Amino acid sequence: MDLKGKTAVITGGASGIGLATAIQFSKAGAKIVLGDIEDGPLEHQVKEMRSHGATVIGVHCDVAQESDVEALRDVALKEFGVVHLIFNNAGVAGGSTIGTPKKIWDWVMSVNLDGVVNGMNAFIPLFLEQNEGHVVNTASEAGLVGVAGMGPYNASKFAVVGISESLFHELANTGKNVHVSVLCPNFVRTRIFESERNMPKELASYAENPENEEIKKIAAALVNAGIDAADVAKAVEDAVVNEKFWILTHEHSAIRITELRLEWMRGGPSPMAGLVNINN
């Protein structure tokens, strides 16, 4: 897909990978619709992008709410007449596998998995009808390997990889000009380790737990040692333009962890737990 003149809708677009991709797509000539749950940053980033010449609007959207995502699509259509790309990117992290309250699991799954499902349901029928479109789903390397301390996040990201593969095959069967990519980065310098800023208020006491503070510090150090979100954005653009399914921003580690899992299945040792342990 040539992005010039196309319309791209990006969820979680007010920060990190979503914002960097919006800027990258805009530079390639696309019109942008940013959806995000955080109104202040959303408004700020829309103004900032416009001051650099971007054609962009911002729409308040909680991706966990089907009606919000449908409204996001409808506003995009009203403003630009047609939509060509949905980047289901909004995501949050939180909780280890042992001892995490079910409500936290539900919150992570509602954003990371339901958000992607809502995005696919809202936009794919449109793309099939117009015989043009691209879906990018954000998973993670945590969708390729299980990691200690990340149960809910792992569950949601494995699910996103699985449904993206399923969608790839279903789209191929339609023979239509509609494509899907799945983004699986290792660490990227963003605000993901501050995800609880978007936690429903009734769960706030969990975020204040001192044990979580320690985990957060470790996560922050890892994320801050990650790659620049602008590099991820370039990889997303390349996948859309060249119709690539896998977006492996840290190709060496993504492939190595997958090989290590295969060796584990064949009776070898388990892959060492951290995504961090494999240098890119």
21 interacts with ligand NAD by CB under 6 A: no
CB 135 within 8 Å of CB 179: yes
Instruction: Report yes or no: 37 and 91 within 8 Å, Cβ to Cβ.
Output: no
- Residue 240 backbone zone (phi > 0: left; psi -120 to 50: alpha; other: beta): alpha
CB atoms closer than 10 angstroms to residue 17: 26
Q: Which of 17, 49, 113, 239 forms a contact with ligand NAD (CB under 6 A)?
A: 17
Catalytic pick from 87, 107, 153, 193? 153
Matching residue, tokens 């190709």:
251
CA distance 194 to 110: 17
Which residues ranging from 79 to 98 are in contact with ligand NAD (CB under 6 A)? 89-92
Shortest distance (Å) from residue 200 CB to ligand NAD: 9
| 230 token code pair | 């602008």
Find tokens 């979503």 and name the residue: 18
Pick 46 or 61: Cβ nearer ligand NAD: 61
Of 33, 75, 187, 278, the residue at the interface with ligand NAD (CB under 6 A) is 187
Q: Please say which residue, 40 or 81, places its beta carbon nearer to ligand NAD.
A: 40
Active site residue 206: no
Pairing of β 56-60 and β 31-36: parallel
Q: Which is nearer to ligand NAD, 90 or 104 (CB)?
A: 90
Considering only CA atoms, give the Rg of the chain. 18
Helices (runs of H) and strands (runs of E) counted in the chain: 10, 7
**Taking CB under 6 A as the rule, which mask of x and - marks residues 190-209 in contact with ligand NAD?**
xxx--x--x-----------
Q: How far is the CB of 172 from ligand NAD (least distance, A)?
A: 25
Using CA atoms, how far residue 38 sits from 148, 241, 260, 272, in Å, is: 29, 29, 39, 36
Binding mask 144-183 for ligand NAD (x = CB under 6 A): ----------------------------------------
Residue 70 within binding range of ligand NAD, rule CB under 6 A? no
**Positions in the binding site for ligand NAD (CB under 6 A):** 11-12, 14-18, 36-38, 61-64, 89-92, 111, 138, 140, 185, 187-188, 190-192, 195, 198, 223, 226
Active site residues: 153
